Each structure stands twice: as C-alpha cells, then as structure tokens.
Amino acid sequence: MFHYHRIRTLFYPQSPKCYLLHPTHFLKPFSTITITSDSDQQSFTVSYLTNTCGLSPHNALKASTRLRFNTPKKPDSVIAFFKTHGFSNEQIQSIIHRAPGLLTFDPIKTILPKFQFLSSKGASSSDIVDTITRSPHFLCTSLQKQIIPSFELVRSFCPSDQKALTSIIACPSIIRHGHMKLNVNFLLDFGVTPASIYCLLTTRPSIICSNDFKKLVEEIKELGFDPSKYNFCVALLAKRAITKSQWDAKVDAFKNWGFSEDQIFNAFKKQPRFMLRSPDKLNAVMHFWIKQLGWDPFLLLAAPDLFGFSLEKRLIPRASVVQYLLSKGLWKKDASLITPFYRTDELFLQKYVNHFEEEAYSLLKLYQGEDASTDCLDKLSKHSLV
C-alpha cells in the first residue's frame, strides 16, 4: 500500500557572430602606482573594488584577501575588455562581485579565447554577454582542460553544435563540473538511453551536475521507473524541479478532490510530467472536468496527460463537441471520453465533427466558436483557479 508520507519522503528525503575586439584600442593611458607595503597594497585593492567596481566595503575587504594588485593597469584592462564587448556597467559590477579574481586575468590571453570559442560554436554577442553575466566563473575555467572536453561530451548527445550550445548557455556551470562525465557514464551504465540523456542536457542540464545525482537516479528506479524508458528522465526532471512544499501543495490539491495517495502515485508513474503543472492548472482542469462536465474524476488520473493540455485551446472546445454528441444520443455507449482529446486536430474534425453530416455545422461552431470557451473560462476564473 502506498502511503502519503511515502510520496513525501521518497521524493524529498531532504544569430550574428560575435565580433571580438582588442580592448587596448579603447584604453586610456594608465597611471603607474607603486605599492610596496602589503597593507598599502590591500588598501589600494579595497579602494579600487569599492570605488571602481561598486563592491561594498565588506565585500571588497573580503575579496582583497584573495587578490592584490599594485596598479590599476590590469583591472582597468579587464573592465575595458568587458565594455568593448557589450557589457553594461551593472553587468560588469555583477561579474566582478561574484568573480573578483577576473581582475587579475590577462583579458587577451585568458578571457578572449573563451569568447572566441563560444562564438565559433554559434553564440551571438548577446548570448555571450548573457552567459558570462549569469555564470562569470565560466571564464575562470580552463579552455583546454575543461571547457572544450565538456562541450564535446555534451555535443556527443546532441544533433548539432547549436543544440549543444543551447545546453551550455542554459547552464554554463555544467562546464566547470568535473564529475559531469562520471555522472553521464553512470547513466549509461544504469541503462538510461542517449536520447534520455539528451533530454536532460537540453531541458535541465544542472541535474546531471547535482551532488546527490546517483542517489536521485537510484530512488527513481526504486519507484518503479524503467531506466531504458523516456519517463525515467521525466521523473528525474520532476523530482529535481519540484520543491517539497510545491509537491505537497499539488498532492493536497488532488486529495481535496477526493483522490487517494495511491491514485496520485500511480498517475505519476504513468506520466510524471503532469506533476510539473501548477496547482492552479491542476485545480482548473479538475474543476472543469468534474464540476462543469460532471464526468468521472478517475478518468483524469487514468490519463494524466490531460493536465498538460490547454483548457482554452483543447479541453473546452473538444469537450463541448463531446457533450453535444452525448446530448443528441450520438455518442457510442462504450466510446472513451478520453480518446477525443488525444486526436490530432485533423483527425478530431474528421471523426467527431464532419462524420455527423446533419450536425456538422453545429458541431463546427462549438469547436471553433469562442463563446463556449470564454464562458467556461469565466466560470473557472470566478473560482480563482486560472
């Protein structure tokens, strides 16, 4: 028997290429400041970080214990480099705040090659700016020892450089994780398919770099998911994406509609993606299906994909057609109420609209008209469910 506490504890045991410019073309002559005393050197570093980079005195003092410079020449060159490559003052301050060590780098020898690498893989100027701003420690990573090998590993599961780049841009930190390769190999040995790994890399690549990754994978298998199936990686995504409080809120939403813990868990095993929907969306679908249509609530958890369909674009229009057919006695007694929602638009029209020649005009109006959809959404809105 599956109990409520089990579902809680199992899941929560706790475009254009970038034109790269040489910054020295834009720099003003530097003044030379000679610092001999260590305390004077630290004082100068703190003053520079505070006045030029916008760090607070506390953060500047903390950073000065890890880096020192005698003159403003090198840090000025780094700041100038960022400015010539499209970074705003706010972005530069954010980068230095999180990775002050960059101020000691040679921008041409150390930073520029990483910009060029991203550009060579299809990154635009804005892609590079966004990537570095979100993860400035990317620039602290060795190009030859980490960035290139990590990119090639991601690329081996992707159909193109652009797809691999998309994964890197979404989570630049995966480049810096030395255990990413170990975790990818663990997945392959565990029976997870390359297609599923590609899904993880392009949907939520940070999962593969999580510290408790192996434990997470083993827990998903213990729940009954087959590593060789696509749903295994979807369950991984769901488990990592949903916090304990979010999960509990969704479980409680189902319980409020009379569903048991077993039913919720079995639905999750069938289609784990449905638990990625918001509580409002889950409640809206259940209210529409159970209260407005008066249909069997257990059909919903038997077909959890329904929670992923748009109310306005699919559920309401198609339910209106089905309701009309039921009212006219045109619906076969043994026909599934679920099937119409899975049909393509073309097949739905063919089987449930045009098939009934005398009623086709009325059915088409229901299917295409906005009145029924708007009315249903208004009612849902009054219940604060959408």
pLDDT digits (tens, 9 = 90+) for 257-293: 999 999 999 999 999 999 999 999 999 999 999 999 9
pLDDT at 68: 75
> SS3 sequence, 13-82?
CCCCCCCCCCHHHCCCCCCCCCCCCHHHHHHHHHHHHHHCCCCCHHHHHHHHCCCCCCCCHHHHHHHHHH
CA 3 to chain centre: 30
- The token pair at 243 is 């916090």
d(CA 357, CA 330): 12
The CA-atom distances, in angstroms, between 361 and each of 238, 331, 344 are 43, 17, 20
Those residues whose C-beta lies under 8 Å from the C-beta of residue 96, and which sit 6 or more positions away, are 49, 53, 54, 55, 79, 102, 103
Measured over the CA atoms of residue 222, residue 224, residue 228 and residue 229, the dihedral's sign is: negative
| Mean of pLDDT values over 85-98 | 92
**pLDDT of 287:** 96
Q: What confidence score (pLDDT) does residue 196 get?
A: 92
Structural domains in the chain?
15-136 (1.25.70.10), 141-241 (no CATH), 244-382 (no CATH)
Question: Does residue 31 surpass a pLDDT of 80?
Answer: no
CB-based contacts of 1, cutoff 8 Å, min separation 6: 262
**Region label for 356, one of left (φ > 0), alpha (ψ between -120 and 50) or beta (otherwise):** beta
User: Distance between CA atoms of 364 and 367, rounded to whole angstroms?
Assistant: 5
Mean pLDDT within 181-208: 90
Average pLDDT rounded to a whole number, residues 353-362: 92
